[in-house]
Structure 1
Amino acid sequence: MSATTTTPSGGLLRKVGGAVTGWWFTPLPLARVAVFRVLVYAFVVFDVLFVANDVIPHGYTPDLYQPTLLGRVLHLPPLGVAGGWALLVVLVAACVLGIVATTSTRVSGRVQLVTGWTVAVAFWVWMLNSQGFAYVSHDHLALMVAVAVLPTVGVARPFDVDTSQAAGWALRCTQIAVVLTYFGSAFSKWIRSGSPQAWANGAVFVWAIMRRGSDLVTWTLQFPWILRLGQWGLLAIEFLSPVVLFLRGKWLYLAVATFCAFHLATYLALGIHFLPTVICWAAFLPLEKLPVWLRARFTPRAPGGSETGTASA
């Protein structure tokens, strides 16, 4: 019998493949997915009512509908007013039922699956219509990915103690979509301006502040070097955003806080928010700790110190 030999290159490929697979499918708590699902579905309701709420008004001007590439591939027609209202009712109802099914053990896990896929399809149709009238908001990229991958995890509840590779994959997809929101924006600046330095040395911030700047930032117009420095800083963090995917612990939390603080500053300065992306930054956080903390914080305790309803030793 001859011994099977392994070439160095074959061993290296297996190690690299294992590392890549492990990175994509890192087992993560199902409870984390459950909390993230509740957060995402609650925000989707807010989003379609107050942020991306232009689908029903679009129904009055169907002739202006110019679908994006995916809309053309799927042959999605304009919804019309009645279609917009019907889709809104289905979407909001599916989100609410999905939250109830996730948080209540009395509801069958199948309801999670049905509502999850309903939210995914309905929200994508809603957003493809919203983006089909000459304006594409890239702040919704991560949210659209999140609703699409969450149903693939299956049943998950806030106090599940199990981990799942499917949970890891879904959260990783959302994380990558969050990062691509910034990295893609940097490349867009590069392409439109001809080079990164052309954009960073331009007057983009001056134009934005003159157009919609608040009293907090209008004074910076007297100091153009501050605005140019800010443009270089923005471009740098956008190009470096993929680094977040490999951070852990306090460095990861610091990065998440930095990006969220940037969006808060942008909102205070210009009235521009990125709430759909900000919500999806939660995919980087240990959300499974939140239900445990809430139960410990708000569960009534008996006089002896044990939780109400728990037998004492």
Structure 2
Amino acid sequence: MTPLPLARKATGWFFQPVALGRVAAMRFLAGAFIWVDWWWYMPWILGHRHVPGELYQPLFIARVLPVFPVPNYWIVVGTLVVLLAAATPMMFGYRARLFGWIVAAAYFEWMIIAMSYGKVDHGKFAFLLLLFLLPTMPKAKWGDRTHLSEHVGWGFNLVQIGVVCTYFFAAWAKIRYGGWEWVNSATMTWAIIRRGTEFSTWLLDYPWLLRLSQWGMVGFELLSPVVMFVAAKRLKYGIVAFFYCFHLTVFLAVEISFLPHLVAMACFLPWERVRPRDLIRNLPRAPRLIREKLKARKRIPAPRRPAETAPEAEPAS
């Protein structure tokens, strides 16, 4: 029995092959962010080693799976040591599968420790998906564009779905818990008063513009799944670039960062084209290479139209 055309298209889309070079790049970015996370992005998690156990309110999954002990000094510090020790070889591709599973398990415990005291972030959902899918992928090298894998395409598609779900369900939560007053009230005004910057405080004089931005934010989040179904690569990369610009704007306005989400979203991009050795080698020559490429483009002649054939003479009578 042959599969239906729609099923074939869905299967082909979901398992579209991706070059292995992207796997090596994403492993490096994930490992690098883990070092940034504990040192700069969320250093307060380490402070939970001094928090009394009576304040620990485990997340639902920690209550269902009885494998997460109440954090104390040694559990918090030990989890961090294991996480950093495994992230370093993973990011450089040394036994990436083994250390990848250790990183995924340790970071999951790290998030249980972080989010079981009243604050739960939704910006790390796609990054957690990335950490648990990277160990399932084969060994990879930077810049490998020749070896393609449907399994890698499947894994990165799952991460991309996680990225889109983060946006879509954020809009759904705004409407579910805040109602339409979230977009019609002074939500952004309150946010700027609390944590505004020099780039956003001037907006307080234009409340209509802030309300318009609230509608635009929810509209953008609801329409974010479109990026999954765009076939043209340049258009898809343009949409992803808009996502990054959106987060940059939010950070400049109210200093809210979604750095782990941005790392996971990088799997949309063609990192298999990047070769770190070539970049380092060509860095001193970069200005000259750019000028040569621009000159070469100017020298390409425009396509000429084929000359019109002259009409044949009519035979003499």
Amino acid at match of 1:275: L
3-state SS, counterpart of residue 62 of structure 2 = helix
3-state SS, counterpart of residue 157 of structure 1 = coil
The answer as to 2:169 corresponding to 1:184 is yes
CA deviation after TM superposition for structure 1 residue 297, in Å: 5.8
CA deviation after TM superposition for structure 1 residue 154, in Å: 2.4
Please report the RMSD computed on the Cα atoms of aligned residues, expressed in angstroms. Answer: 1.9
2:156 to 171, 190, 196: 171
Amino acid at match of 1:93: A
C-alpha distance after superposition, 1:7-58 (max 9, x if no partner): xxxx6x6222222222221111111111111111111221122223333322
For residues 268-287 of structure 1, the aligned pairs below 5 Å read 268-287=252-271
What TM-score comes out, normalization by structure 2 length? Answer: 0.84
The answer as to 2:206 corresponding to 1:223 is yes
CA distance in 2, matches of 1:296, 1:56: 36
Residue 91 of structure 1 contacts residue 119 of structure 1 at CA under 8 Å; is this kept in 2? yes
Amino acid at match of 1:154: P
CA deviation after TM superposition for structure 1 residue 170, in Å: 1.3
CA distance in 1, matches of 2:37, 2:234: 30
* Structure with bigger gyration radius: 2
Amino acid at match of 1:89: V
CA distance in 1, matches of 2:233, 2:172: 29
CA distance in 2, matches of 1:99, 1:217: 37
Amino acid at match of 1:66: Q
CA distance in 2, matches of 1:241, 1:159: 29
CA distance in 1, matches of 2:215, 2:143: 44
CA deviation after TM superposition for structure 1 residue 294, in Å: 4.7
Residue 164 of structure 2 contacts residue 225 of structure 2 at CA under 8 Å; is this kept in 1? yes
The answer as to 2:202 corresponding to 1:210 is no
The answer as to 2:56 corresponding to 1:65 is yes
132-141 vs 58-67, which deviates more? 58-67
Amino acid at match of 2:80: L
Residue 37 of structure 1 contacts residue 99 of structure 1 at CA under 8 Å; is this kept in 2? yes
Unmatched segments (≥5 aa) in structure 1:
1-5, 301-313
CA distance in 2, matches of 1:214, 1:54: 23
Partner residue, 1:87: 79
Residue 117 of structure 1 contacts residue 151 of structure 1 at CA under 8 Å; is this kept in 2? yes
Would the alpha carbon gap of residues 253 and 67 (structure 1) be closer, same or farther in structure 2, given more than 3 Å must change? same
Would the alpha carbon gap of residues 140 and 296 (structure 1) be closer, same or farther in structure 2, given more than 3 Å must change? closer
3-state SS, counterpart of residue 23 of structure 2 = helix
Partner residue, 1:28: 18
Amino acid at match of 1:203: A
Residue 168 of structure 2 contacts residue 221 of structure 2 at CA under 8 Å; is this kept in 1? yes
Partner residue, 1:41: 31
CA distance in 1, matches of 2:250, 2:277: 31
What TM-score comes out, normalization by structure 1 length? Answer: 0.85
The answer as to 2:49 corresponding to 1:78 is no
Partner residue, 2:101: 117
CA distance in 1, matches of 2:175, 2:44: 30
Residue 140 of structure 1 contacts residue 277 of structure 1 at CA under 8 Å; is this kept in 2? yes
Partner residue, 1:236: 219
3-state SS, counterpart of residue 288 of structure 1 = helix
Would the alpha carbon gap of residues 81 and 297 (structure 1) be closer, same or farther in structure 2, given more than 3 Å must change? closer
CA distance in 1, matches of 2:9, 2:88: 38
Residue 97 of structure 2 contacts residue 137 of structure 2 at CA under 8 Å; is this kept in 1? no
CA distance in 2, matches of 1:249, 1:88: 39
Unmatched segments (≥5 aa) in structure 2:
284-317
3-state SS, counterpart of residue 134 of structure 1 = coil
Residue 143 of structure 2 contacts residue 274 of structure 2 at CA under 8 Å; is this kept in 1? no
CA distance in 2, matches of 1:184, 1:294: 40
Would the alpha carbon gap of residues 118 and 279 (structure 1) be closer, same or farther in structure 2, given more than 3 Å must change? same
C-alpha distance after superposition, 1:106-125 (max 9, x if no partner): x5xxx211101101111111
CA distance in 2, matches of 1:216, 1:295: 38
Amino acid at match of 1:272: I
CA distance in 2, matches of 1:253, 1:273: 21
CA deviation after TM superposition for structure 1 residue 263, in Å: 1.0
CA distance in 2, matches of 1:167, 1:208: 40
C-alpha distance after superposition, 1:124-178 (max 9, x if no partner): 1111221111000111111111001111112122143311111101111111111
3-state SS, counterpart of residue 23 of structure 1 = helix
